[in-house]
Amino acid sequence: MAEKTIMLCCAAGMSTSMLVARMQDAAKADGEDVEIFACPAAEADDKLAQENVSAILLGPQVRYMLDSFKQKVSDKNIPVDVIDMQAYGMMDGEKVLKQGLSLIK
């Protein structure tokens, strides 16, 4: 089991799952031991209850949920950020991986 876990949340989970695959490839190439998974924002509560999440990245299409996510995990000390829109649009797994890892101290 990886010591770091990055959860990506988006509207439905389709395009984000492709980004997860690219992030996993980048993590493997960089020698990073990190678990990365995607889920629809509607399932985030269940995933947070089941998984030991280190950081949450929101897809640009659900950026309006940033404040509610921050409140949701404020007692768990889990950082939340919105995926860089350009990196998301280009499916830049390396850049999004670095963004997620930068949240984890």
- Mean residue pLDDT of the chain comes to 94
pTM above 0.85, yes or no: yes
Amino acid at 69: F
Contacts of 15 (CB under 8 A, 6+ apart): 59, 91
| Cα–Cα distance for residue pair 102/93, rounded to 1 Å | 14
Q: Does residue 10 carry a catalytic annotation?
A: yes
Active-site annotation holder among 6, 9, 10, 56 = 10
| 3-class secondary-structure state, position 34 | strand
- Each residue's pLDDT tens digit, 81-93: 999 999 999 999 9
| Cα–Cα distance for residue pair 76/97, rounded to 1 Å | 21
Question: What was the pLDDT predicted at 22?
Answer: 97
